[in-house]
Structure 1
Amino acid sequence: MTEYGRGEGSEPWHPEDPLYGDDGWGGQQAQAGQQSPYGGQPQHHPEQPQQPQYDNGGWGDGQQAAYGQAQQHYQQQYGEQQQYGQQQYNQQYGEQQQYNQQYGGQQQYNQQQYAPQPQQQYDNSGWATGTHEPGQYSDPSDPYGQQQGMSYGGQQQPDFYGTPDAYPPPEPPARRRAEPEPQQPDWDPGPDQGEHAFFSGADDDEDDSDEPKGGRGDRKGRGGKPKKRRSGCACLVVLLVFGGGVGGVGYFGYQFYQDRFGSAPDYAGDGTSELVTVVIPKGAFGSTIGQKLKEAGVVKSVDAFVAAQDQNPKGKTIQAGAYLLKTQMSAESAIEMMLDPKSQNNVLVKPGERNISVYKTIDTKLELSSGTTRKIAEKEFESLGLPDWANDNKDIKDPLEGFLYPGTYPAAKGMKAETVLKEMVTQAAKKYDEFDVEAKAKALKLDNPLQVVTVASLVQAEGKTEDDFRKMAEVIYNRLKSTNTETNRKLQFDSTFNYLKNESNINISESEINSNQDPYNTYTQEGLPPGPIGNPGDEAMKATENPTDEGWLYFVATDGVNKTEYAKTFAEFERLRDKFNESSGS
């Protein structure tokens, strides 16, 4: 099994061979007259006649005697007796493995291995060329392993060389190569030789496994378990998947066409008898309004509403607020109903409107008993979001006066009064921040931001136009000056007296005014009233912060309604007053 060979090879193991020397057993190959790695003796083999071949049953005739001679010669050649399968052969490779366990059999070295032979011829792999059979051996790191029960001269064991069960001798370490992959049998063309793997019925598990299918001696018969064949279900699944994909593409293609070119889903008619309230926020676009209506069940789709809004000339004028609408209306009918003031469940706060009037409107919209909203305002004003600079005067009649900012607010049945009030107060706080009333109070030499709102409420109550607002603001600031000797820092506004009386009367007797000492009576009290007398709007706020600078100190509504004229001296004021008396017939 080793380099002693079983027969005469075709080529010598020549010293010029690149693997001759350190690549052989023990790092060098013995040559004639050189030290042998196995016992310090030159390696030579006496000539011996060729031994007969073995059969599958064991040894031939006279092989016991030849075996004894070979054993004696082996001991003389290497200087010590080697018992394969009993002693370790780790002098060259560091460890032994059981050769018998790896290949599952025991082998005896025949007479030919140790008998004198003619000079052996070696092939390029370092093995004597002869009649040894190709095969596989144990772990390449241990070519010999332990040969259990194979001591020379022991019991005869069957020799399997020359039989299909024979194992080849191990190769020298430098000649060992990775075992090649098994070739595809000629009788199995495989999936790539004329037939696709899917239709060939090849078992996926067989091809995908990385585990070897067996040793060299493991030969699979042709009559084994037949390969699995794919049934028609696999093809059916493929067809179903393919058909589903085509159907999905068709569906989404139809949806794409409908979105781009088809009409949007819409109800028909004026809707059902069921009524719902829909609240539209401020600044909402058509798509936002359509979404609110769809969620409430009024319209069928947002696109239908947007399309109807674009077709209606007044569709873009829909305001924020609460609307009482029917369910399942066509988009066109919904827009027409929202444009009808009767459908709007809102509270509209007009610029300059007093709180007492706003409270009554809220009670009506929410179907509350009279006075309910006013009581809530008086008790819960601190929780409604007032700025920290509001209500800083103990004489203020209504802490929310001036903070129910003008605008439209949802107020439908079922809502709470405090919810409506809080939205108004929140809007006022936001607007006053935008006007930066805290900084303007200092610039205008006022005591606090609340006085800025108070001035704006007076401007809103007395003026009629934007130009009036700016002149009215200058009149107020000039009269508040300590240098004012014309009115001695008294505003003398009818609007403040009407506020405390909850009236709107321009014909007030001087005796009635002069006898009233209420803090809101600016005929008898210097300076500004304790707080606002109404809810100023944007124009009044702008004029308050940007008054004229022309020296106006007086004004008179000469026609009693809309026309207001201004004067800088008391003499001019008297002429304007006479003009008013003439127009009013007094």
Structure 2
Amino acid sequence: MSDNIHDFFDENTHWVEQGTGVLGGGEPPQPPKSRREMRKRRKQRKQKRYGVLIAVVVVIALIACGGYFGVRKLHEIRDSQSQSNAIVEDYPGPGYGEVSFTVEDGQGAVEIAKNLLKADVIKSTDAFTSIVGANDAKLYPGTFTLKKHMAASDVLTILTDSSKAAGFLEVRPGERVSAVITDAVALSGISEDEFNAVINNKGDGILPAEANGSFEGWLEPGTYNVKGMSSASDIFKDMVDKRIAKLDELGVPSGSDRERVMIIASIAEAEVNKADYYGKVTRVIENRLAQGMSLGMDSTVAYGNNVQPADVTTAMLQDESNPYNTYKITGLPPTPISNPGDDAIQAAMNPESGDWLYFCTVNLDTGETKFATTAEEHDKNVAELRQWQAENQ
């Protein structure tokens, strides 16, 4: 009972200053009517205290969390700034000494940067990869002569210049096998006789059956590390295997149909120098074949005489003994006449729609080519070419 009495007085005592009435000017509180009401008031007071305590704890927790995440964010900003500073860690150049550095075919900027760092050519990988990305640069495979402690920008200038690469052979769309062999001999150190021996053996064990023993058209354009290969057979096999893989990827039909596509594509590659015209040229070829007309292509005559189309003579055009003389012999030539690229191959599979039977390049500088459906219209285009030649040659 004594506890209840103390609670009663604690809850209902109000201090007043001397000379004043009850603080607040209100009526004095009413005493509780029962013990139940006293317990109720005591419970409410405790709940109020707990509520205040919980609120204080929550506030403290929020302050602690805010401090934690704030510090974490500051660390992130600091790390980001550190990374930014790493990008500019670069040698001023020009460097010293000499470093023989090889970029393998298929290597990316990150892998190349790591190798440059190991060779002590650049100061940081970020210095190189950032400038490669900023310039959307193409890095060529090959062996390059660099220096130690070079500026990343100077390294990029060299690695994006294919003329400074040694040991790697570049096979270009439209090149003939003879040109590829000449370059391969110079770069690999393998004798020309060894390459010719593989050619004379009809590519046994290397070429597919539909190639009919001819490498022409079956060397995939691209870059090859011929200096790292031990034989002419290895070089040829690498090129042919990649060509077959590419033809499969492009969906070129197999067997004799594949060889037909390659022949038509090689003519289109040799006749025009703009990809926009491939589809029209292959349509001209198909239209002429359908009508039993001779193809009449200077490029095939030139191939049969091992000269360039510009060097074809009247005597060559009249020579019926040349199996590639499509002026005198109807149908397709016996083999492709070059190594066509992807665009020409796709055009051979999907020629543009049209009834053209003729085409003529009227400007040898720009490659502008005009197509015609009649001989009269074609003669006008040929006259335009002759006029251009008279004014520019």
TM-score by length of 1: 0.46
In structure 2, the CA distance between the partners of 1:411 and 1:507, relative to structure 1 (3 Å rule), is closer
1:137-148 alignment to 2 at 5 Å?
none
- The residue number in structure 1 matching 2:379 is 574
**Corresponding residue number in structure 1 for 2:29:** none
- The answer for the alignment partner of 1:279 in structure 2 is 103
- The amino acid across from 1:406 in the alignment is P
* Structure 1 range deviating more: 318-327 or 526-535: 318-327
Q: Which residue pairs with 1:548 in the alignment?
A: 352
- CA shift, 1:535, in A, is 0.8
Q: Which residue of the partner structure matches residue 352 of structure 1?
A: 174
Deviation at 1:453, TM superposition (A): 0.8
Output the amino acid matched with 1:529.
P
Q: Distance in 2 between matches of 1:266 and 1:416?
A: 42
1:403–1:270 CA distance, 2 compared to 1 (3 A): farther
Q: Distance in 1 between matches of 2:248 and 2:229?
A: 31
For 1:15-414, what aligned pairs fall within 5 Å after superposition?
263=86, 273=97, 275-282=99-106, 284-293=107-116, 297=119, 299=121, 304-311=124-131, 316-326=136-146, 328-330=148-150, 332=152, 333-345=154-166, 346-369=168-191, 372-379=194-201, 381-384=203-206, 386=207, 388-392=208-212, 399-412=214-227
Question: 1:514 Cα shift?
Answer: 2.3
Unaligned runs of 5+ in 1: 1-255, 442-446
Give distance in 1, aligned partners of 2:231 and 2:101: 14
Residue correspondences, number: 309
Q: Which amino acid aligns with 1:541?
A: I
Q: CA deviation at 1:381?
A: 2.9
Q: Show the counterpart of 1:435.
A: 250
Separation in 2 of the partners of 1:558 and 1:520? 24
Deviates more, 1:366-375 or 1:461-470: 366-375
Contact 2:270–2:338 (8 Å) recurs in 1: yes
1:572 partner SS: helix
In structure 2, how many angstroms separate the alpha carbons of the residues matched to 1:580 and 1:470?
22
The alpha-carbon deviation at position 262 of structure 1 amounts to 8.0
Are the counterparts in 1 of residues 90 and 127 from structure 2 also a CA contact under 8 Å? no
Q: Secondary structure at the match of 1:565?
A: strand
Match status 1:422 vs 2:237: yes
Flag the 1:497–1:330 CA change in 2: closer, same or farther, 3 A. Answer: same
User: Match of 1:288, as an amino acid?
Assistant: E
Q: For the structure 1 residues 287 and 560, does the alpha-carbon distance in structure 2 shift closer, same or farther, using more than 3 Å as the test? A: closer
Contact 2:122 2:128 in 1 (8 A): no
Checking the alignment, whether the CA contact within 8 Å between 2:105 and 2:223 is kept in structure 1 is no
Contact 1:286–1:306 (8 Å) recurs in 2: no
Measured at CA, do residues 506 and 376 of structure 1 come closer, stay the same or move farther in structure 2, by a change above 3 Å? same
Decide whether the 8 Å contact of 1:290 with 1:299 is kept in 2.
Answer: no
The one of 448, 452, 460 aligned to 2:269 = 460
Q: Is the 8 A contact 1:519 1:530 kept in 2?
A: yes
Preserved contact between residue 362 and residue 373 of structure 1 (Cα < 8 Å) = no
Q: Which protein is richer in helix relative to its size?
A: 2
Q: Partner of 2:210: helix, strand, or coil?
A: coil
Cα distance in 2 for residues equivalent to 1:311 and 1:355: 37
Q: Is the 8 Å Cα contact of residues 301 and 312 (structure 2) preserved in structure 1?
A: no
Contact 1:305 1:331 in 2 (8 A): no
Q: CA 1:436/1:499 → structure 2, altered by over 3 Å: closer, same or farther?
A: same
- Aligned pair in 2 of structure 1 residues 432, 413: CA closer, same or farther (>3 Å)? closer
Q: Is the 8 A contact 1:309 1:315 kept in 2?
A: no
- Counterpart secondary structure, 1:307: helix
Structure number with higher relative contact order (C-alpha < 8 Å, ≥ 6 residues apart): 2
Partner amino acid for 1:289? Answer: I
Q: How far apart, in 1, do the equivalents of 2:157 and 2:382 lie?
A: 50
Distance 1:498 1:535 in 2: 15
Letter of the structure 1 residue corresponding to residue 100 of structure 2: V
Contact 1:278/1:293 (8 A) holds in 2: no
How far does residue 274 in structure 1 lie from its aligned partner after superposition?
Answer: 5.0
Structure 2 CA distance for partners of 1:315 and 1:377, relative to 1, 3 Å: farther
Instruction: Specify the structure having the higher radius of gyration (Cα).
Output: 1
Give the C-alpha shift of residue 324 in structure 1.
2.1
1:462 Cα deviation after fit: 0.8
Distance 1:315 1:374, change over 3 A: farther
**Please, which of 522, 525, 537 is the counterpart of residue 341 of structure 2?**
537
- Structure 2 unaligned spans of 5+: 1-78
Pair 1:289–1:471, CA change in 2 (3 A): same
Give the conservation status (yes or no) of the 8 Å contact 1:517–1:525. Answer: no
CA displacement at 1:403 relative to structure 2: 1.8
Overall identity of the aligned pairs, in %: 26
Partners of 2:117 and 2:85 lie apart in 1 by 19
Q: Name the amino acid aligned to 1:308.
A: F
1:502 maps to 2:324: no
Task: Please say if residues 217 and 338 of structure 2, whose CA atoms lie closer than 8 Å, have aligned partners that are also in contact.
Answer: yes
d(CA) in 2 for partners of 1:578, 1:519: 29
Seen in structure 2, the aligned counterparts of structure 1 residues 262 and 417 have a Cα distance that, compared at 3 Å, is farther
Aligned-pair CA distance for 1:311: 3.4
In structure 1, C-alpha distance between the alignment counterparts of 2:224 and 2:145, rounded to whole Å: 17
Q: Deviations over 1:79-130 (max 9, x none)?
A: xxxxxxxxxxxxxxxxxxxxxxxxxxxxxxxxxxxxxxxxxxxxxxxxxxxx
State the Cα deviation string for residues 158-215 of structure 1 (Å, max 9, x = none). Answer: xxxxxxxxxxxxxxxxxxxxxxxxxxxxxxxxxxxxxxxxxxxxxxxxxxxxxxxxxx
Letter in structure 2 aligned against 1:573: H
Q: Secondary structure at the match of 1:429?
A: helix
Q: Return the alpha-carbon distance in structure 2 between the equivalents of residues 324 and 468 of structure 1.
A: 37
